[in-house]
Structure 1
Amino acid sequence: MSYVAEPFTDEERSLLAPHFTDLDGPVFALTNLPEVVKGALFARYSRSAKSLRRLFLDEFVEASTAVRASAEAVGTARAERLYQNVFLEFGDDSVAQLGGAHIACEQSSQLLAKVLERGRLAAYLEQSTRYVPYDDRPGGRWRYHVPPEVIEAGDDLTAQYRDTLDFAFETYARSLGPLQEHFRALLPQEPGTPDGAYRSTIRAKACDALRGLLPAA
């Protein structure tokens, strides 16, 4: 699957430029950010459907009206709160491992992800199918890769491959709404539970139940 570039306004590009080595491609590194911001940004990214750069703009740029965001002004307070919640309160030490040099590879197929993660010189964090719904179609296509070996094998196999994976994704997307309705009926919102937290919980249960339909492609 070819990469679908995300558009940014001139102001957004000005905010991104000091902190991302590439604003248009799928592979980029983070620069000039406090370690706590980088770690928290990736931790949040693993449970968000947004791209990393969009997530940074929406949730971590506190000086969003400034043309240049200094490292001290970029989401440090939010990042520290996230570390407090995830690491100290819930004991999830995977967040504590996220300090260091950060490189993002977006819109990677599952096949490419496994190749990248073979090396032991880095720690890896994937966008979680337990929390992120995969019912969108970037560039009008479902999120899977067609290997060149399949294409070289001929049109019949390529069509069968695409039809099979399209059906898996269509079934997943079609089932996501009804399954959330099922979980809402099974697990009514308790008094005092914030609406946002309840919606996230129900969505996560549906995503977790359906993620076995997502192909490793």
Structure 2
Amino acid sequence: MAKKMQYSKEEEKVLNFFFTNLDKPIFVTKNFHPEVWALMQARYSRSREGLRESFLSLLKEEPENFEKLKEEIKNLEGGIKSKHAIEKAIQFMEKWVLGYGHSSIAEGAVVGLGLEGISILATKKIEDNRLCSFIEKSTRYVSFDNSSVYIDEDLKNSEYYEEIKSLLDFLFEIYIELHEPVLEYVKKVAPCEEGVTKAAWERACAARRFDAIRYLLPTCTKTSLGWTVNARQLAHTISKLLSSPLKEMNMIGEMLKEETSKVLSSLLKYSDKKEYFIKTEKEMKELAKKIKIENENVENVVLVRSSENPDEMIISSILYRYKNEPFEKILEKVKIMSAKEKEEIFDSYLKNMSDFDWPMRELEHVQFTFDIVMDYGAFRDLQRHRICTQTNQIFTADLDYDIPKDIINAGCADRYKEAMERVKKLYYKIKDKYPLQAQYILSLGFKKRFLITMNLRELYYFIKLRTTPLAHESYRRIASKFYEIMKSKYPLLSKYIICNCSQEELGRLKSEEKTERAKKLL
């Protein structure tokens, strides 16, 4: 999976102090200050290096401090006393966590993990967890190539293996081929204006180029992921991975359990595959096959369900915070209020927000469920809204694919469509025999359905964040549609939602300029 690096003995001694291994693609960090771990995790987003190599490079930038660190590690007192204390702590944890079933204790044990050389498809399984923090290698800032793809074992042993290899080579050939023409087009329509830092402009242009050509990347592309998670959530994730019908997920689950048990030995003892997951998945698939539903084209974003009388619920919840009466009595009062009275309460509650404020928690008492059709690349971004309740369908080619405008305008549409049609043809050739494994060959430009339920507070956050000019065009359209629907159906509740509809040729430019100014202050 991950490329094996060569280190000197002194470097190994330092790295072994901070990581559970130096030669495997999955490892656990240790002895990290929380702020240092946050920094290192963030580096995954912008670097092709692995975390261990990146960390070592960072340390060696200050040779004098690096020498001091080596000496401190050498002089550390571990030995029998330390080992004895750890064993006693584990015995205590086993007594309370395993003997008494207080698994919530596991939430206090937080680890930082690096996962390298796993497929994009696998990251979506791992990130399907609420109480975690992730940063993944970005398709916007990092170029990919066919030297690093995961081919499922079943596909590798199938009669389609040679065709799959040929297809992946072709996809990356087109991906690389489109680098320059799309970048040239972007620079043509968004030239570097007077007063703009050229380095910032170059990065903004490159980001827009990558935003377009990422649609070609297959989900078997290997990537890296920084993951901060507590032991309770980790145990649940490991069980899900071990219970998956896909071999890559099983392998990741086994490696996660092996590595994290080195630092959380008592808390992960029962994180095994679950018959509940396995049997339910199998039986529900068979049951669903028997239920015939006529398929028809619908809008890409549909509000399918919302809380009953959400205006009254929100106004009542706001008043509840500042009154000392039962909710039902407050709701009765709100129901007979005029629209003007309700608006006055809502205004008083939200009008003082600044650009850096978010609504308080009373807006969480109503829910909205949207059914979305979007490209897989956009799904990767929107899935990160972990506070939402999310349900995914299997990734297929049935909903066809999107074509980015920049690829069309750069004159590359024919080559792009040639690649995507070739993907579609092979997908349908292998999907009947390998429906789950066939997901690996689909490019990020193919579309999928995604059911997401969020409260009003999250909607405020979601729409504001995902409609900024620096947002990707694909999910920006989705967030804008959310706003249109909410404004039409619930004008009062949407009154303070910020939806940025402005158009900028280089949405990343202001952010990159800010980075350049910050560099000068260092």
| Common fold: TM-score over 0.5 | yes
Mapped partners of 2:41, 2:114: distance in 1: 9
What is the one-letter code of the residue matched to 2:202?
R
Q: Which of residues 151, 167, 172 in structure 1 aligns to 2:170?
A: 167
Q: Are residues 1:104 and 2:104 paired?
A: no
Mapped partners of 1:5, 1:152: distance in 2: 26
* 8 Å CA contact retained: 1:14, 1:68: no
For residues 131-210 of structure 1, the aligned pairs below 5 Å read 131-135=141-145, 141=147, 143-154=148-159, 157-210=160-213
Gaps of 5+ in 2: 71-109, 221-522
Against the structure 1 CA distance between its residues 134 and 106, is the aligned structure 2 distance closer, same or farther, given a 3 Å change threshold? Answer: same
Q: Which of residues 92, 112, 116 in structure 1 aligns to 2:126?
A: 116
Q: Are residues 1:128 and 2:158 paired?
A: no
* 8 Å CA contact retained: 2:45, 2:137: yes
C-alpha displacement of 1:11: 4.9
What is the one-letter code of the residue matched to 1:103?
L
Against the structure 1 CA distance between its residues 68 and 166, is the aligned structure 2 distance closer, same or farther, given a 3 Å change threshold? Answer: farther
What is the one-letter code of the residue matched to 1:35?
P
Mapped partners of 2:202, 2:15: distance in 1: 30
- Aligned position for 1:75: none
- Aligned position for 2:37: 38
Larger radius of gyration: 2
C-alpha displacement of 1:201: 1.7
* 8 Å CA contact retained: 1:130, 1:204: yes
Mapped partners of 1:215, 1:60: distance in 2: 35
* 8 Å CA contact retained: 2:183, 2:206: yes
C-alpha displacement of 1:13: 3.3
- Aligned position for 2:297: none
What is the one-letter code of the residue matched to 2:69?
A
What fraction of aligned residue pairs are identical, expressed as a percent?
31
Against the structure 1 CA distance between its residues 208 and 8, is the aligned structure 2 distance closer, same or farther, given a 3 Å change threshold? Answer: farther
C-alpha displacement of 1:30: 1.8
- Aligned position for 2:506: none
Mapped partners of 1:53, 1:105: distance in 2: 11
* 8 Å CA contact retained: 1:27, 1:103: yes
What is the one-letter code of the residue matched to 1:3?
A
Against the structure 1 CA distance between its residues 163 and 188, is the aligned structure 2 distance closer, same or farther, given a 3 Å change threshold? Answer: same
C-alpha displacement of 1:168: 0.7
C-alpha displacement of 1:184: 2.5
* 8 Å CA contact retained: 1:28, 1:105: yes
What is the one-letter code of the residue matched to 1:112?
A
Against the structure 1 CA distance between its residues 201 and 146, is the aligned structure 2 distance closer, same or farther, given a 3 Å change threshold? Answer: same
Q: How many residues align?
A: 181
* 8 Å CA contact retained: 1:169, 1:214: yes
Against the structure 1 CA distance between its residues 6 and 179, is the aligned structure 2 distance closer, same or farther, given a 3 Å change threshold? Answer: farther
1:1-53: per-residue Cα shift (whole Å, max 9, x none)?
Answer: x4321333445434433222222211112222221121122123212222222
* 8 Å CA contact retained: 1:21, 1:28: yes
* 8 Å CA contact retained: 1:176, 1:210: yes
What is the one-letter code of the residue matched to 2:117?
Q
For residue 17 of structure 1, give the secondary structure of its aligned residue in structure 2.
Answer: helix
For residue 4 of structure 1, give the secondary structure of its aligned residue in structure 2.
Answer: coil
Against the structure 1 CA distance between its residues 50 and 194, is the aligned structure 2 distance closer, same or farther, given a 3 Å change threshold? Answer: farther
C-alpha displacement of 1:61: 5.4
What is the one-letter code of the residue matched to 1:209?
A
Mapped partners of 2:218, 2:202: distance in 1: 26
For residues 9-48 of structure 1, the aligned pairs below 5 Å read 9-48=8-47
- Aligned position for 1:212: 215
* 8 Å CA contact retained: 1:57, 1:64: no
In the superposition, the TM-score normalised over structure 1's length comes to 0.71
Mapped partners of 2:158, 2:42: distance in 1: 40
In the superposition, the TM-score normalised over structure 2's length comes to 0.32
- Aligned position for 1:69: 69
For residue 27 of structure 2, give the secondary structure of its aligned residue in structure 1.
Answer: strand
Against the structure 1 CA distance between its residues 175 and 204, is the aligned structure 2 distance closer, same or farther, given a 3 Å change threshold? Answer: same
